[in-house]
Structure 1
Amino acid sequence: MSMGIVHCKFLPQGQTINQHVYKEILRRLLRSVREKRREFWQDKSWLLHHDNAPAHNKNTAVLEHPSYSPHLAPWDFFLFPKFKGVIKGTRFEDVNNIKMAVTTELRLGKCLRLQGDYFEGENW
């Protein structure tokens, strides 16, 4: 069951994602889950699925799954096509304008899910 985005972080253009940056993003994600989805945090009923982690170097088990599964790659099958539809034909002056367009679309989705109820900040 999907309840929407818990954490969103834009990195500076050209930022290299090394272990320090990655660990900091994971710390922020954990804090967001703890604050925004308390029920999942308390009963530990959530999983993090992400791609391109060098699991083979860290003696970590790799879960086998179909390479093109919308259940395991929701960004590719749901979110990215949705954003492409929103920004299609728009010419952006810089990366900040793209971020604003994407963030606005995410917030509009939250507003629709809440049927217009008030929400504040980045609590998607």
Structure 2
Amino acid sequence: MSKRITPFASRYCSTLDRLKEAIRRKRPGLLRRGVVLQHDNATPHSANLTQQWLQLYGWEILPHPAHSPDLAPSDFHLSGPLKRHLGGMAFETKNDLISELRNWFDNLDVDFFRVGINSLLSR
């Protein structure tokens, strides 16, 4: 690892330390069940130091395709309403969250998706 990369990876690992502590305080038990992160391919995320940190704590990283844009098309239309819907909710299990997500998607009007898809044309 080059000296230029080390400060960024070190800072990112400090951020992960703070995240781990916040999870421990706010969501007891979640650390035992496992943490899954979505990273892009930024240097601090792929640095050896970061990879060692993730391996030490057993955190899983979802794969991120090379040259993938930071925002998926769904981020433009879907994320905001979904975030507002889930705001303030707490889920006991992953299955409870999945059930709520399925319910939310099942109750969306077809026009919601049509508007979202059509808005991509102007972007």
Q: TM-score, normalised by structure 1?
A: 0.34
Of structures 1 and 2, the larger Rg is shown by: 2
Report which of the two has the higher share of strand: 2
